Amino acid sequence: MKKRGFEIVTRYQNANLNLPKRQTKNAAGYDFEAAEDFVLPTIWQFDFIKIFKALRKGEPLTAEALDGAQKVLKPFLVPTGIKAYMQPDEVLILANRSSSPLKRRLILPNGIGVIDADYYNNTANEGEIFVQLLNYGVRPVTIKKGERLGQGIFVPYLKADGDQNDGEERNGGFGSSGF
């Protein structure tokens, strides 16, 4: 019987992707690879620097400048091409690799990613897992297909007393349930 594991989503079926893998005997995390080449621009771009300069000079900040800075501070969603199935009382925790900030100045701005069991095969995006990344270093970071960007750990979770919510179907991620 299938208990928990990984599959390649339809759109990457012929892309020759590897399923997430643990690297050592007792490693908890299944390492996820980037499904494509990717360049993560640094957050230190013109719009952002402009905000700092204006603040230093005490100049008023225009809505345009603020919008520009907000845009460059937006994290990137790096596709993995992978979906994960698991038991209904399990969750996959997606964590950064400890080497990513040290070597490449990459962080997960969401701290950890919570990959819900009901995300798998959802009608909006088939349950494809994305790694949210922010490059806080000063240089753009080039990521090649196959580079390991994060690790997924399967964990059982508990429900609170009186929890009656067996209702809503999941239909997507990243705010699909509203604000």
| Site residues for ligand DUT per CB under 6 A | 94, 110, 113-116, 119, 129-130, 132, 172-177
Cβ closer to ligand DUT: 69 or 128? 128
75 neighbors 150 (Cβ within 8 angstroms): no
Cβ closer to ligand DUT: 32 or 48? 32
Closest contact distance (angstroms) between CB of 173 and ligand DUT is 2
CA gap 67, 175 in Å, rounded: 21
CA gap 97, 80 in Å, rounded: 15
Structure tokens at 21: 């893998």
Closest contact distance (angstroms) between CB of 111 and ligand DUT is 9
CA gap 156, 136 in Å, rounded: 33
Cβ closer to ligand DUT: 145 or 170? 170
Closest contact distance (angstroms) between CB of 120 and ligand DUT is 9
Which residue carries 């997606």 as its tokens? 94
Closest contact distance (angstroms) between CB of 71 and ligand DUT is 19
Residue type, 160: A
